[in-house]
Amino acid sequence: MAACIAGAHAIRAQEAQAAAPADPGCAVVAPAAVRQGDPVFVSLAVRSGQSLPALPVELSIRYPDGSESPRAPAHRVPRRTDRVPGEPVPGAGPSARPSSPRAAWMALVGVPTDAPVGTATVVAYSAGVELATVDMDLRKRTWNKETLVLNAALTRIRAQPDPRKDEQAEHYNAVLLTVDPGAVYLDGGFSAPLSGNRRTAFFGDQRTYKYSSGTSAYSVHAGIDYGYPTGTPVSAPGRGKVVMAEERITTGLTVIVEHLPGVYTIYMHLSRMDVLPGQIVERGQSLGAVGSTGLSTGPHLHWELRVLGVACDPEALLGIDKMPDFRTMMPAIEGR
């Protein structure tokens, strides 16, 4: 019986047995349908009695136009002998109910807001070899359009060239593009960073900035804005490591939390920061408070999610269907 053993040797051995049917012994588990801008938990499940891949697994999305997302390093999920057939597989969400596979590796992948719609394919690799795939329906989402009129002071913050801004942008991008395969901090689902959902701007808003000079600029809103008074507590939506807590010209007091390899949540325009870089925060722990620092027209929290650099809808992580059971993973991750 073919085993889902990752690695070129095993694959070549399988290929040598030309008469044997191609049964990799493993399967990619993903939601049947996702939308543009969704963060998506995907996993590589191993059928009962099969071996786990021996080498690191990566998961990616192949889009209908043939382009492919960056490969996300997957992390191990422990084998569970007590898993009930028909029950959800951790990391795959309640919508995935395969008859027997056990999730072995999982990762969060991000669908860009402008991803081509149609039949996309989630691909699992190990040691660069394609192990298994599964199709999912990638659906179109419509985005709001809005125009923001900026006064002279805000125009200066956004549009005036400033080497300090360039330096800050370089550092910010470097942080968000860091993918540390060992950075597995999340140990449960995500919860909202503040209580209430008074949104003053939505994820994916197509924004036109009208500058005081008369010119304008276009951008896509990469996060969600929640309008709440200055001082409203902001908490970590899930366990993670603080990788930035600093004042920036455009985003004001800014906190970035790393949750999984290449997966970050961002908190902007804070009035106060309660954390320091390097600190591990638990879900619900205070990060700071709502404010209006940086490029801001009033007190609000800008909450953002980046997955391998791709801005995704953070609220899509709050849906029960996207909520993995990370608690069962931790013993294996920690080697216990």
Q: List the x/- string, 180-199, binding to Zn ion by CB under 5 A.
A: --------------------
Query: Considering Cα of 291, then 295, then 296, then 297, what sign does the dihedral take?
Result: positive
Q: Output 125 or 203, the one with its CB closest to Zn ion.
A: 203
Q: Output 75 or 207, the one with its CB closest to Zn ion.
A: 207
Q: How far is the CB of 137 from Zn ion (least distance, A)?
A: 29
Which residue's Cβ lies closest to Zn ion? 302
Q: Is 274 in the site for Zn ion (CB under 5 A)?
A: no
Q: Output 58 or 225, the one with its CB closest to Zn ion.
A: 225
Element (H, E) at 205: none
| Cα–Cα distance, 177 to 119 (Å, whole number) | 27
Q: Output 259 or 302, the one with its CB closest to Zn ion.
A: 302
Element (H, E) at 193: none
Angle made by CA atoms 192, 33, 327, in degrees to the nearest 5: 45
Q: List the x/- string, 196-225, binding to Zn ion by CB under 5 A.
A: -----------------------------x
Judge contact between 43 and 77, C-beta under 8 A: yes
| Cα–Cα distance, 187 to 328 (Å, whole number) | 8
> By rule CB under 5 A, what count of residues binds Zn ion?
2
Which of 302, 312, 323, 329 touches Zn ion (CB under 5 A)? 302
**CB-neighbour burial class of residue 160 (10 A; exposed 0-12, middle 13-18, buried 19+):** exposed
| Cα–Cα distance, 27 to 30 (Å, whole number) | 10
Q: How far is the CB of 303 from Zn ion (least distance, A)?
A: 8
Q: How far is the CB of 282 from Zn ion (least distance, A)?
A: 26
Q: Output 129 or 159, the one with its CB closest to Zn ion.
A: 159
**What 8-state DSSP symbol labels residue 236?**
-
List residues binding Zn ion (CB under 5 A): 225, 302
